[in-house]
Amino acid sequence: MTERNEWQQQQCRSNKLLAVWTGLWVLTLALASFGPKQWWDSSTMTYVASVVNIIMGAAMIWANKRHLDHQDELQRKVQLEAMSLALGISVVLGLAATSLTQNSLLGFDFEISHLMMVLGVTYIVALLLGMRKYR
């Protein structure tokens, strides 16, 4: 097997592992968020679901780190640029929106879900632009 094929197989395994851990994290987040309203009326179960969600989140972060470790320099550069742009825009807009909300100037209550949407969309757009830039 050639070195290129081995690298491609490693990339595929890394992508799958990251997808699995991300899916498990999203599933446990949904369980921790909707479980208390839909399936149980126990604060203990809610704490357990939240702890499991944190553990799955840590595993997802670990999988993301491993995924980045298996990328080549250009892929890491594109990822780093996308992540830094997403973080920067999210912090700036999130804090501005929080300030506006606290002073009743925004017109709606700014919530963490709004910030996560900004972060996700910014990251995806920056990643696509970075991939296009270096292709």
pTM of the model: 0.78
Q: Do 53 and 79 belong to one domain?
A: no
Residue at a domain's end among 70, 101, 119: 70
Model confidence at 90: pLDDT above 90? yes
Q: What is the pLDDT of residue 14?
A: 87
Q: Do 91 and 135 belong to one domain?
A: yes
**Collapsing DSSP states into helix, strand and coil, what is residue 116?**
helix
Q: Do 78 and 24 belong to one domain?
A: no
Q: What is the pLDDT of residue 93?
A: 94
Q: How many domains is the chain built from?
A: 2
Cβ neighbourhood burial of 107 (10 Å; 0-12, 13-18, 19+):
exposed
DSSP state of 105: -
Residue at a domain's end among 70, 91, 111: 70
Domain containing 126 equals 72-135
Q: Do 23 and 43 belong to one domain?
A: yes
Q: What is the pLDDT of residue 83?
A: 95
CA 119 to the chain's CA centroid? 8
φ and ψ of 52, to 5 deg: -60, -40
> How many CB atoms are closer than 10 A to CB 82?
20
Residue at a domain's end among 70, 100, 119: 70
Q: Do 127 and 84 belong to one domain?
A: yes
Q: Do 14 and 65 belong to one domain?
A: yes
Question: Could you report the per-residue pLDDT of 45-68, keeping only the tens digit for each?
Answer: 999 999 999 999 999 999 999 999
How confident is the model over 1-12, as a mean pLDDT?
Answer: 78
Cβ neighbourhood burial of 73 (10 Å; 0-12, 13-18, 19+):
exposed
| Range scoring the smallest mean pLDDT among 9-23, 52-66, 77-91 | 9-23
